[in-house]
Chains A and B, each alone.
Chain A
Amino acid sequence: MATYLEFIQQNEEQDGVRFSWNVWPSSRLEATRMVVPLACLLTPLKERPDLPPVQYEPVLCSRPTCKAILNPLWVTIEVSGVAIADGSFIGVCPTLFPPAYTGISEVNQPAELMPHFSTIEYMVQRGAQSPLIFLYVVDTCLEEDDLQALKESLQMSLSLLPPDALVGLITFGRMVQVHELSCEGISKSYVFRGTKDLTAKQIQDMLGLSKPAMLMQQARPTQPQEHPFVSSRFLQPVHKIDMNLTDLLGELQRDPWPVTQGKRPLRSTGVALSIAVGLLEGTFPNTGARIMLFTGGPPTQGPGMVVGDELKTPIRSWHDIEKDNARFMKKATKHYEMLANRTAANGHCIDIYACALDQTGLLEMKCCTNLTGGHMVMGDSFNTSLFKQTFQRIFSKDFNGNFRMAFGATLEVKTSRELKIAGAIGPCVSLNVKGPCVSENELGVGGTSQWKICALDPTSTLGIYFEVANQHNAPIPQGGRGAIQFVTQYQHSSTQKRIRVTTIARNWADAQSQLRHIEAAFDQEAAAVLMARLGVFRAESEEGPDVLRWLDRQLIRLCQKFGQYNKEDPTSFRLSDAFSLYPQFMFHLRRSPFLQVFNNSPDESSYYRHHFGRQDLTQSLIMIQPILYSYSFHGPPEPVLLDSSSILADRILLMDTFFQIVIYLGETIAQWRKAGYQDMPEYENFKHLLQAPLDDAQEILQARFPMPRYVNTEHGGSQSRFLLSKVNPSQTHNNLYAWGQETGAPILTDDVSLQVFMDHLKKLAVSSAS
């Protein structure tokens, strides 16, 4: 099956697409029997250094119901000297090429018709270009160190912004201050009470945004609309107010209101966000803008408050939520959802950088990032490299020197008529565009063929779910192909408008006669991630056990469908290579923090789920099943099983869970290090051994966003729990002696091990009862 693997890999590299099935069952009925839905992971802005954008407008299919964009799948026919294309989506839609395309021939084709341009990017000169906007929303109820660190990070970030980008600053504590940046000599800010929810109109009136803009126009009729947006005093080009803002940030004080013993500081996060949203809504709707919220604690007053200011009442836990004991949660969530939806409607995004030891209300605020494509970063303190580097990485640039961020994207999916769109899961909101290709069955955010992704970066990945619409009794002719076109229009970080078009096609196959083909074309990695996304999506709204049961049932059904076994004989159960890893993924997914809330705070769960919902396949897989490398004198570093049996005394382990990088020294290694062998010249190899995982970890740390928690521990260290909680508990205190003592480390848990899980799975799969 190497060919399929290569095919899949090539597809991913070229188009950023991975399908669960690469040969599609040709009828609706058959497709449902495949258990894993026909779906794909799409990374719309996958970096393609080899793909320079073309500088013209795309050609659209002229049929209004189709409007597909010219692509390699089009068949060109020459009719009396005029090239005519066929969209091949809804059938034959003859489209006249525009005059510029008249010279078309086999040898002289426009780029978009060439097969290896299945993904192509257009740069269009449409509409006014607007600069990027960065609105900092800064919590001032921080400890002095934290605030200082944050201020420095913010000041540093100014140098990273493009000079013409607009920046704004809102600070909050007990009050919310919107800082005016254009004034000389005196720093001016508009202050709002942190307890009063204001409508967008009120905010704009109070900030004087409605009238001055009008006055400006009256005052300067000669240069209308040249810079219509510069009128806002609160958002100014970086190059103009660089110094001012640096000073302003420098003078930023901790919230001056006294906090009495036993109280939390009053923090008006809800109102601050509301004002930020209102400000941008009024001044720059539908342009790329980031609201960056830096908060060091939970909102404690006003709309969106998550916890009261009494320290003796702790912030809600999962336990409270399950017992319906979280007083403010529903109201707060509603507030933030409302804000998130408004933000999304305006095409802006909200980032949340929450650094505190306790929870900060991410559970309630998660929709702000999840619906708008913003980042969510969680750390212990702003004064940690985790925050500092993560924040810096937001402004990282690609090989062209452009920011790795894009704004205000719309993703449109077009399918050939045998397919319908069931939904999408990712950092997007529905645009509610109905059409013939929209399915009635929703998976994820459905009921539409277009989604808005307010902010995305080259790794943002959506899961898109399809449904085969073709009826069983209308077979597709042999060799027929189904096609899907993804059209992503977005604002590039260089402020250009761009359109990226990816068109893919897959063969149809009859599931009865060609099941082997379909089976062989199964992408178990993609399937695992796509199923996991469905599971996590459900977990947001359903009880945890229900989701687990659903996942189990799906797994059992899949095994029943594709396993080879004799009925009622578990030992006879076999899975083909294409499926062999899938159960293991499911095993680890069940244990993952995305579905298990035990031992996690609601904020942590939200944080993990947030990242799981947007990372690409590789990262997602790491999250589901962390990677474990082993370093020893026995050979070169190698990946080992994520199993307690891998924990050996003479090994150094490096585990990457995406969120954490753990380096674990085995017992012997730890003793050696303690004895200081690494410093002895004759044991230089030991020194190298110690160094190797550190270097590898650094490599991962450099590449990852957000920056993972870096844990360096050893046998018996308290932090080794990070490792122990992840590995498959093949050895526990229960079966320790049965397994003998020569290998591995026992895990003190009652969780089932992979072995037990597989045994049960086999039993159930072969059972005729289920």
Chain B
Amino acid sequence: MSQQGYVATPPYSQAQPGIGLSPPHYGHYGDPSHTASPPNMMKPSGPLGAATPGGMLPPGPPPPGTHQFGQNGAHASGHPPQRFPGPPPLNNAAPSYPPYSASTPSAYPSPGSTSSVTQLGNQLSAMQMNNYGSSMGAPNQGPPGPPAAALPGPSRPPPPSILQPGSQVLPPPPTALNGPGPSPMSPPTHRPDGLPGPAPPNAHYQPPPLPGQTLGTGYPPQQAANYGAQMAGPQLGYPGGFPGGPAQMAGLPQPQKKLDPDAIPSPIQVIENDIASRGGQVYATNTRGQVPPLVTTDSVIQDQGNASPRYIRCTTYCFPCTSDMAKQAQIPLAAVIKPFATIPSNETPLYLVNHGETGPVRCNRCKAYMCPFMQFIEGGRRYQCAFCSCVNDVPPFYFQHLDHMGRRLDHYEKPELSLGSYEYVATLDYCRKNKPPNPPAFIFMIDVSYSNIKNGLVKLICEELKTVLENLPKEEQEEASAIRVGFITYNKVLHFFNVKSNLAQPQMMVVTDVGEVFVPLLDGFLVNYQESQSVIHNLLDQIPEMFAESNENETVFAPVIQAGMEALKAADCPGKLFIFHSSLPTAEAPGKLKNRDDKKLVNTDKEKVLFQPQSGVYEALAKDCVAHGCSVTLFLFPSQYVDVASMGLVPQLTGGTLYKYNNFQMQLDSHQFLTDLRNDIEKKIGFDAIMRVRTSTGFRATDFFGGIFMNNTTDVEMAAIDCDKAVTVEFKHDDKLGEDSGALIQCAVLYTTISGQRRLRIHNLGLNCSSQLGDLYKSCETDALINFFAKSAFKAILHQPLKVIREILVNQTAHMLACYRKNCASPSAASQLILPDSMKVLPVYMNCLLKSCVLLSRPEISTDERTFQRQLVMTMDVADSQLFFYPKLLPIHTLDVKSTTLPAAVRCSESRLSEEGIFLLANGLNMFLWLGVSSPPEVIQGIFNVPSFAHINTDMTLLPEVGSPYSQKLRMIMSILQQKRPYSMKLTVVKQREQPEMGFRQFLVEDKGLYGGASYVDFLCCVHKEICQLLR
């Protein structure tokens, strides 16, 4: 699999000339050959640039000096400490570090200059390049580059560094070079987790010499002010109060100078800019390869021939023409496809095309569906497929004359000729066994073991089902939902219920043969809710009582899924299982699990085992489920380890959703759970789906990530796919791409609707191709990149040690940036960090990814939680992953209660908090309301209806409805944040300096992590060092 992966070794390494030419080896997470690499990693290795089988190890021994230095560098990027053979640099370096406490106001240069003399030699100094914050940020006053013209929005900040970065970016030669930090050139403090230590601050953020100019053009004034202020003022330094990181860290002296956090690229700023330039506007998809607004920007999207970015987002909208280019840049080429995305009401819903019995028009060779890319020729009698170039006859019924432009006269009448996304009615050929499918069914499966009865969960579920079943999803034009429902309860045996409408009371059927589970009844198990309403209500009333006396503690799990699947199979319909489960299934049955949570494995090569299922049972089961269109959604209520890795596997592979409520408490958690349940039942969903991604010649889809199951390399099978699930697809070249023809993607999803219709949903997207690396960088989308990186890394952790994965991520980040620096930026001092505009915030996001608890090998974090988050991310779309990795932090105390918009977000850093402040933080899973110790009493009164901070009882997950403007506004904000999020966020109220604040702090992702993980600044330095290393 020689894909060009983000993990590829950077092709250029100055230390080792020539390497750039040698075929780089692409490390790939999924590639088993790489499992062998860790041992290699232990060897002293050179700079990252070297190409080795491992993908990141330099081959030959570099010159000693370099070598050592290289190690340091590598170190910073996450190599384990053992790799540092020579103490000398350390020794040398260590003393040179000024104590951390001394945060000298004079930021940069002074001490740094001395360092240039250090023994570390030129390499060292080269390493200590200053990062040019300004350069990456806004295009400095430099001439508004030509690219600006290319971009649509005039209000957009001039795309800076992209084309003529050098000139713009590098104004301050002296400062830049004297790299303040040289001396501090901290021997990278190695943290066990392999993340760059806090040390590298040596790489100072070099303020642009002409701050005003630099910023003026690009950033809003206030931002500029910030910059200025920060530079002038004392460094904020690292927020104190973090519980000590690893020992080494603590011992290390901190560099005197701090990088100004405000001077480094701010995600908030980037988001705000995009909103300012594109928010609220109409975005028409008529142009191939145009970069859509960010996911955080609200705009109206008009389908004019390409799929809306709500359906497909790409890591880059301009593919490199050749695979060599792709390898050089190492930018992953991927699309994040969310075929069932919800479309706001002000945008046009998908048109449904019905060609009757003949079915959709398809290319004879590659089977691509008729789409706007097809070229009609010979007066409309034939058309050339845009994907495989095959010339096909136009079927007689479909014939239409062409106009003078060569376009069909009915171009605008047929959605499949003029739109990027549309649906076809599928014919019987597209149905299982050539029979029209039956409407799907929902089966509710409730664990009625002792704990669930005792904590009232069963009663809660039963009560809720009564109302929520009224809202089963239905087609808009239909009166009632066609979905049938069924009920099963279980502990170590299964109870099926006959709720046929003509029964006076429900009938319970117990299946005790869990070893070989089967469906005891057909007629009466799956019923129409409306018809059987009274029997169902009767049943739901009785279930809690029926098991009230039960003291059965053991449960089964695999047989439960099996039962549901068999029931759907017997009824010959697709469907979805809702399983409400609480404990590790220890009863004697297939899929029985034992507690195997072993913290000792953390941070070893065996750590991956924790993410893998215990046995093959669940995978086999998932396969069966997918084969029968049975999707599994699991609500877990664990009070201890339940082996999410095993139990969550079926939900993941069947396109279901996993919800987890730790230590469920009725008062605190029921709101969150019920909201999730409601949303999950009501959301739009397609069943029994097969997705096929077709591409024009020259490249192809090679890897898929998401809630999917694949039996072969091309068909993405999903038992179900709902409006929140996204599949990330990676592309690789297999030939050259032409700049003229571009790169076309057609994603076709064959599925069964909630009313039992078989349909095809087609999304088409045309991308540009360019042989200029600059074009490539210009069209990147960082949010999509992070989505890809996260999924790819999270998939890889099943097979590779986490350490390796983290290194790969850092390396690839550096590589992408280095390639830009080398090929796209104009020459500049080596010490400068130059970031392409489109990737300005890549480092901070990447750092967030690296710090996510999944990738962080720390025994303090529960295995289940890591597995859970890993699984969630695998199906996330770009917007969700963006928020998940970089939470939204909103100041509440400054709320303008009259405004209807959200307050401006602030960066996720402790430094942004204040004792007088109240902040709301949300990441898509959790929501925190942080209260500073000196929060204004009137706001507290307004929100909580208590007189003071001390009176607030934080034991709540819902804010009281006080009726004050503050309360209303805050709750409105919360509901806006909650909107469109697949998971209901649980609110936690935390007071400053109280224990629960720890939970909150780990979401301040720009800071150093609670359990390790570099701060943004540190990481940036680290990346910078890597880049320098690569550029050498």
Where the two chains meet, the residues of A that have a C-beta atom closer than 8 Å to any C-beta of B are: 175, 177, 180, 183, 185-193, 196, 198, 205-208, 247, 251, 253, 256-258
Contact = CB atoms under 8 A, between A and B. Distances in A.
Interface string B489-511: 00001011000000111111111
B567 to A, nearest CB: 13
B507 A257 contact: no
B530 interface: no
B524 A187 contact: no
Interface in B985-1025: none
Interface stretch (B471-479, B515-523, B682-690): B515-523
A187 B499 CA distance: 11
A247 B524 CA distance: 18
Contact of A206 (B495, B507, B512, B521): B512
Given A186-B546, A189-B509, A257 B522 contact: yes
B539 interface: yes
A192 B521 CA distance: 11
Contacts of B518: 175, 193
B513 interface: yes
B512 A189 contact: no
Nearest to A254: B523
Contact of B516 (A187, A196, A257, A258): A196
A207 B886 CA distance: 54
A188 B522 contact: no
Most-contacted residue by chain B among A190, A191, A253, A258 (CB, 10 A): A191
A188 B512 contact: no
Contact of A189 (B510, B522, B524, B539): B510
B839 to A, nearest CB: 60
A206 B509 CA distance: 13
Contacts of A189: 507-510
A205 B588 CA distance: 12
B542 interface: yes
Most-contacted residue by chain A among B504, B510, B518, B539 (CB, 10 A): B510
Contact of A187 (B493, B496, B505, B523): B505
Contacts of A188: 495, 507-510
Contacts of A247: 504
A205 B587 CA distance: 13
Interface size class of B (residues with CB under 8 A): 20 to 34
A186 B524 contact: no
Interface in B533-556: 538-539, 542, 545-546
Contacts of A175: 518, 520-521
Contacts of B513: 192-193, 196, 198, 206
A198 B516 CA distance: 12
A190 B510 contact: yes
Nearest to B510: A190
A185 B512 contact: no
B496 A191 contact: yes
Most-contacted residue by chain A among B512, B523, B538 (CB, 10 A): B512
A240 B603 CA distance: 64
Q: Lowest 6 A-B CB distances belong to which pairs? A: A256-B523, A191-B520, A206-B512, A188-B508, A190-B510, A191-B509
Given A186-B508, A188-B507, 15 more contacts: A175-B518, A186-B507, A186-B539, A187-B505, A188-B495, A188-B508, A188-B509, A190-B510, A191-B521, A192-B513, A251-B503, A251-B507, A253-B523, A256-B522, A256-B524
Nearest to B503: A251
B113 to A, nearest CB: 82
A234 to B, nearest CB: 11
A313 to B, nearest CB: 25
A368 B506 CA distance: 35
26 contacts: A175-B518, A180-B510, A185-B538, A185-B542, A185-B545, A186-B506, A186-B542, A187-B507, A187-B508, A188-B507, A189-B508, A189-B509, A191-B496, A191-B521, A192-B512, A193-B513, A193-B516, A205-B512, A207-B512, A208-B512, A247-B504, A253-B524, A256-B522, A256-B523, A257-B522, A257-B523
A180 B510 CA distance: 10
Contact of A190 (B506, B512, B538): B512
Given A186-B539, A193-B513, A177 B506 contact: no
Nearest to A205: B512
A196 B516 CA distance: 9
A175 B566 CA distance: 14
Contacts of A207: 512
Nearest to B520: A191
Contacts of A251: 503-504, 507
Contacts of A193: 513, 516, 518
Contacts of B545: 185
Nearest to A202: B513
A464 B523 CA distance: 53
B523 A191 contact: no
Contacts of B504: 247, 251
Nearest to B497: A186
A506 to B, nearest CB: 58
A113 B545 CA distance: 64
A734 B903 CA distance: 116
Given A185-B542, A186-B546, A177 B523 contact: no
Contacts of B493: 206
Contact of B505 (A177, A185, A208): A185
A208 B552 CA distance: 12
A206 B559 CA distance: 15
Nearest to A247: B504
Contacts of B503: 251
Interface in B161-207: none
A187 to B, nearest CB: 5
Contacts of B506: 186-187
A247 B496 CA distance: 20
A194 B521 CA distance: 12
Given A196-B516, A256-B524, A191 B510 contact: yes
Contacts of B521: 175, 191, 256
A237 B48 CA distance: 83
A251 B500 CA distance: 11
A674 to B, nearest CB: 50
Contacts of A198: 513
A436 B518 CA distance: 55
Contacts of A205: 512
B754 to A, nearest CB: 25
A185 B539 CA distance: 9
Contacts of B510: 180, 188-191
A206 B587 CA distance: 13
B539 A190 contact: no
A177 B509 contact: yes
A191 B511 contact: yes
B446 to A, nearest CB: 15
A512 B187 CA distance: 128
A185 B503 CA distance: 12
A180 B546 CA distance: 13
A214 to B, nearest CB: 14
B505 A186 contact: yes
Nearest to A178: B510
A90 to B, nearest CB: 55
Nearest to A195: B518
B903 to A, nearest CB: 54
Interface in B438-467: none
Contacts of B524: 253, 256
B564 to A, nearest CB: 15
Contacts of B516: 193, 196
Contacts of B539: 186
